[in-house]
Every structure is written in structure tokens, then in C-alpha cells.
Amino acid sequence: MRARRARSFRASGMLVAGVATFSLVTAAAANAVITTTNDAPTLAGALAPAGLVTGSGLAQAYPCVADDPGTTDFDESLCPSAVSDTPLAGFPTEGTTYDILTTGNAALADDPNVSPDDGYAWTTSNPAMGSSVYDWQTYRFDLAPATTGCLAFDFKFLSDEFPEFINSQFNDAFIAQLGGANVSVDPTTGVINAPGNFAAGAGDMISVNASGPSATSAAASAGTIYDGSTNLLIARTPVTPGAPVSLYLTLFDQGDHIYDSAVFLDNLRYETIAPTKCKSLALDPYEGLTGVTPLAAGPAFTAGYTALNLPLSCDLPPGSVQCTVNGAAAFTATAGRTVARTGRDARAIILPVALAAGSATIPANTNGVLSMPTTPAGVAAVKAAIAKPALLKHQAKLLKKKAKKLLKKAQQLRAEGKIAKAKKLEKQAARLIKRAKRLIKRANILLTKPLGTITTTVTNPSNGAAFTITSVLPRP
């Protein structure tokens, strides 16, 4: 008969305490794709390249039962862990093999999902972790000295606890720690305490209760026996280059021993990555920030002022979550004086003008561009700032022309003996000439100054975080 047990039976396997003698149990059917095993070195070989894992072990070993070659049932083998060489739920992610760790029977992982509670109950407990912890297993992998400052592996958490037991005390979980396994669970609340756990980022835990990047969905578990799964995730944690590393992976049922959970694992590696990006994705992947860093002093126009482009770098670690941001820019022209309609020399009031707005999605750990299409009013303001010195000089030319006419008229008045009227016109002409000289002076000063400033605000719509760049727009 099959090793699958209906949950109503709550079947229990024998427990072998401590680290048992490892044995490989292989499904005999020629088309079997999952090889069940409780041999830690075999699991290490499927998880990492040769030479990376120097030692391994299990803190809890279960008695694996071999398949009966006289039957045609592919899943009669029984073991909570296995190695697979056939693609399933996005695995393998590197090479041809990967690990399957479960709280039940790993041989069932690729079976059709025909029931909400298929699996196998070992009915083991772990009072040291908590009275509500069952069917637990801790895997230790001793690694060669770190060649970089970042340790990483790919994984996916799958569970039959989804969706019935979200936010309940039935909170199966997966934990990753360095240097030792230190996990405790409050049996009343189901709250898990695991110092140094780096499987998920800040504010998150790998369980069916997770949200954000670690959230569980039915679609992600397609092709497996499990009701729900996270997306493909990458766990990362800083390590000391040159120092040996011991990785501990713990998986357990929480609240009862039924409704199995599993984790698929692959591509354990040392990774070359910026220290700030050596982290698992948090509940808020951007950790309260926009998630992007400007790559230039400020934005630049495309040809014809059709768009304003701001180069950005996505600060997230490599993975499926991307940086999405919105941008809005305003232009403020360099202040100057102009001739008002009243003819008086007055300081112009310079107000910001909406210049451009747009959005961008930049893949993690890559550079991209926030391209913001410009507004007609913004382009007009920029072009007006470009033309302003010439406009001031033109205004000065008109003032001089008017002054010349006044002087000519005054000369006629003097010839006619109308001295008082002539003097009055001469004073008006002098004021116009003086004003024209000031306009020319200001025009020449503006030619030495930038057009104005561009104030660009970049906002992350998912968390509201924003930053502002104020940049100088040079005169062309």
C-alpha cells in the first residue's frame, strides 16, 4: 500500500532518537523521480557544489522505509527527506538535483494534490523547542571557509496548512541559522523565537502566516502535493571571509503533527555581492526606504526636452522583487528683474513650475532610468529661462529707442524755446537709458548663471518612502 496516510488515521512512524546511522533508501521503480534518504552527506551533495560542504548531520533522524519493488506504487518509500533530479515547482535552480525536506514523507512531494491534508504524521515531539512542536528535523551543514562575505541558498516553503490555518496557532515554519540551532515556540500563541534566523528578512518568518515577499499562495505550489507555497526565495546572510561556516536548517510542525510542510533547497553558495545587499527580503523589502539610489548628480533632458531622465540603481539583492518608484520634478528659474507692464523696474516673482512626472520599475541589483515625460508648461518655463537674457537686452533696446525719440523731441523743443518741456523730456530719456543699462547688466549676469534648479522627488508607492534631489540646470 502507499505510504500516504489519510489525516483521520494520524499514522505514526517509529522514532530513532539522536543522529542515526545514515542509509540511502531508493525508489526501485525506473521512473521514480524522488530518491528518499536520511543520509546527510547525500543531501549536502544535492544542495551544494563539491567541496563546499565539509561535514553534515541530522539532529533528528527518522527510520526511512524502502519501496517494495514488487509493487507499482511509486511512493511506497517513506522518509521525511529526499533528493530529486526532476524539475518541480521551479527546482532545481542550479545543476540537476536539489533537496526536499518535509515534516512528513518527501516521496509524496510530486503526487497530485487531491486532498487538503495528504501526508504522513511521525508524531514526534520536541519539548526543548516547545510543547507544541512536532515532526521536527534540524540539518547541519559545515562549510569550507567563506570565499566572500555573503552566504546564500535558494528555497521554497510549501505547506498543507495553507489556507485553512493562516494566522492560527498551527504555524509550521522553516528556520535558517548559523553556528547552531536555537528555536523556541510559545505553545499558546504559536510565536516563534529564533535568534539570527535569516531565512526571511526583518519583520517576517517563513511560515503560512508570512506576508510580503514570503507570502504563501496556491499558484506557487502547482505540480506538488501541497496546498500552498512561497515563491522562489533566496536566503542571504553576511559571513566572515576566510572563516568556516556551520549552517543549521530547521523544519517543524507547530500546533499538531498533521498537515505536512516542506522546503525545497538548492544552490548553496558563497556569493559576491555588496554588503548592504547580502540579506533576505524583508516584510517590507525596501526596509522603509525607496529602494533606489541616484547614479548621477541629477536628472537630464532628452533631445527636444521630451523627457527628464534620472539614472537609478535598485538596492535590493538579486531576486524576483523589483524596485518600483514614481518621480515628479519641478523647475524654478534663476531669479532676475524684468520690466513690468507698468514700466517700473521690479523684481519678478519666480515660482516652481511642474516640469515632469513618470514611473519606473528597475530589476533588483541593476541600474535603470526613471524617465519622466515633460509637461508643456515646464518646457515653456525652461525655454523662457533660456531666452530671458535676450529678452532683457531686447527690452533695453526698446528703452534706448524710446529715449532717443524723447531726446530728439526735446531738441526740437529747445529750438522752439520751450526749455522747461525739453528738460522734462530729457529727464525721462535719462531714466530710460539708465534702466536700459541695468537690464543689459542683468542680462549679462544671467548669462553667467544656470537656468535654474530642478527639484525631483522620488517616491516608493508601496511604503510611501521618498527622497528629493535638487539639481542645477546649466545654461546651454
Task: Dump pLDDT digits (tens) for 133-188.
Answer: 989 999 999 999 999 999 999 999 999 886 765 556 668 899 999 999 999 998 88
Residue 105's pLDDT band (cuts 50, 70, 90): very high
Average pLDDT over residues 372-399: 95
SS3 state at 429 = helix
Average pLDDT over residues 454-467: 97
Which among 441, 442, 447, 327 is positioned nearest to 386, based on CA atoms?
447
Task: Mean pLDDT check: name the lowest of 88-102, 196-210, 295-309.
Answer: 196-210
Rg (CA), the chain: 36
> CA dist 178 to 210, 236, 241, 271, Å?
22, 11, 14, 16
Amino acid at the residue 423:
K
Task: Decide if pLDDT at 53 tops 70.
Answer: yes
Mean pLDDT of 370-398: 95
Residues 6 or more apart whose CB falls under 8 angstroms from that of 328 comprise 354, 356, 357, 372, 456, 457, 459
Q: Is the pLDDT of residue 61 over 60?
A: yes
| Residue range 359-371: mean pLDDT, rounded | 97
Query: Burial code of 29-46, b = ≥16 C-beta within 10 A, e = fewer?
Result: beebbbbbbbbbebbbbb
**Residue 30's pLDDT is what?**
39
Q: What confidence score (pLDDT) does residue 254 get?
A: 79
pLDDT band at 258 (very low <50, low <70, confident <90, very high): confident
Residue 436 is classified by DSSP as H
Q: Does the structure show a pLDDT above 60 at 424?
A: yes
Quote the mean pLDDT of the chain.
86
| Window from 181-185, 233-237, 255-259 with minimum mean pLDDT | 255-259
Is residue 305 a contact partner of residue 382, using CB atoms and an 8 Å limit? yes
Read off the C-alpha cell for 46.
544535492
pLDDT band at 365 (very low <50, low <70, confident <90, very high): very high
Task: Count CB-CB contacts under 10 A for residue 127.
Answer: 8
Give the CA angle between residues 450, 453, 455 to the nearest 5°: 160
Residue with grid cell 554588503, as numbered in its chain: 275
Please name every residue paired with 206 in a beta bridge, in sequence order, or none if there are none: 174
In this predicted structure, the answer to whether residue 9 has a pLDDT above a threshold of 50 is no
Q: What is the pLDDT, as a whole number, of residue 427?
A: 94
pLDDT single digits (tens) 39-51:
999 999 999 999 9
At residue 19 the predicted structure's pLDDT band, cuts being 50, 70 and 90, is: very low
- Whole-Å CA distances, 249 to 56, 101, 153, 175: 11, 10, 11, 6
pLDDT at position 75 = 65
- In angstroms, rounded to a whole number, what is the distance separating the alpha carbons of residues 236 and 474? 44
What's at 121, amino acid-wise? A
| pLDDT confidence of residue 73 | 65
Rounded CA separation 143/163 (Å): 36
Residue 111 pLDDT exceeds 80: yes
> What's the pLDDT at 7?
39
Predicted pLDDT of residue 346:
45
pLDDT in tens, 307-357: 999 999 999 999 889 999 999 999 999 986 443 444 444 445 578 999 999
Query: Taking CA 194 as the corner, what is the angle to CA 220 and CA 318, rounded to the nearest 5 degrees?
Result: 45
Q: Residue 130: pLDDT above 90?
A: no
- Average pLDDT of the residues in 63-74: 76
pLDDT at position 341 is: 43
